[in-house]
Amino acid sequence: MRSVRIWFNKKDTAKYISHLDMTRCMTRAFRRTDIPLWYTEGFNPHPYLVFGLSLPLGVEALREPLDIRLNDDNYPMERVVEQLNSVMVPGMEFLEIAEPVHKALEIFKGEYSVEIPTSSPKELCEKIKYTVENETITFEKKTKKKTFKTINVSEHLSDFRAVYHEDKVMLYFNLPAGNDLTINPVSFCNKLFEMIGEENILHRITRHRLLMKDGTEFR
């Protein structure tokens, strides 16, 4: 049995596939191929599919990990990518496959960008930068025990940048995305836009990659 890690992206309409539906989608895709996927044992066998980190609904991703196990150690790894891309839904593409380097529990942060189309980019950019630099951004997060706790995003936000172009504003930042704490970039953006009086502003969020605690890329 061989453990491998596949990297894929999720764009366009595929960003609206929930994490639960994503698991179902992947399972169906594997069943349409001849990939010798390993199944768990017991009364209800199911394919071994482990995502590095769930992706919030509506967020695009450029490089997401999926761990699988192969029953055949000699099955060509490059064929896994070819087979999956031939049956995958529009908006998703498998990029590469390799032996896992890190454990999923070592994921610490997510690296994000936000694209905001606007007719007044400089003004909007300055409002956003002022709010992030001078105000405390908090929101309520539901816990596993169905209670709520206040999350101070400002304490955990890192590498924040806001730049404007001719017809848009681009935000770049890192947020916790680990076992101890995960901050949803959608919740952060919604609260930020509420604070600047732009609750209904159009925006596009993308997760570029996952990072380790030391800032290096999760592999």
Average pLDDT over residues 40-46: 80
Which of 28-32, 41-45, 116-120, 131-135 comes out lowest in average pLDDT? 41-45
Nearest Cα neighbor of 68 from 44, 92, 47 is 47
> What pTM, to 2 d.p., does this model score?
0.92
Nearest Cα neighbor of 212 from 180, 183, 177 is 177
| Integer angstrom CA distances of residue 141 from 16, 112, 138, 179, 188 | 21, 20, 10, 15, 11
Q: Which helix (H) or strand (E) holds 131?
A: helix 121-134
Task: Mention every residue, 6+ apart, whose C-beta is less than 8 A from residue 133.
Answer: none
pLDDT at 168: 97
- How far from the centroid of its chain's Cα atoms is residue 64's Cα? 6
Nearest Cα neighbor of 60 from 203, 215, 179, 219 is 203
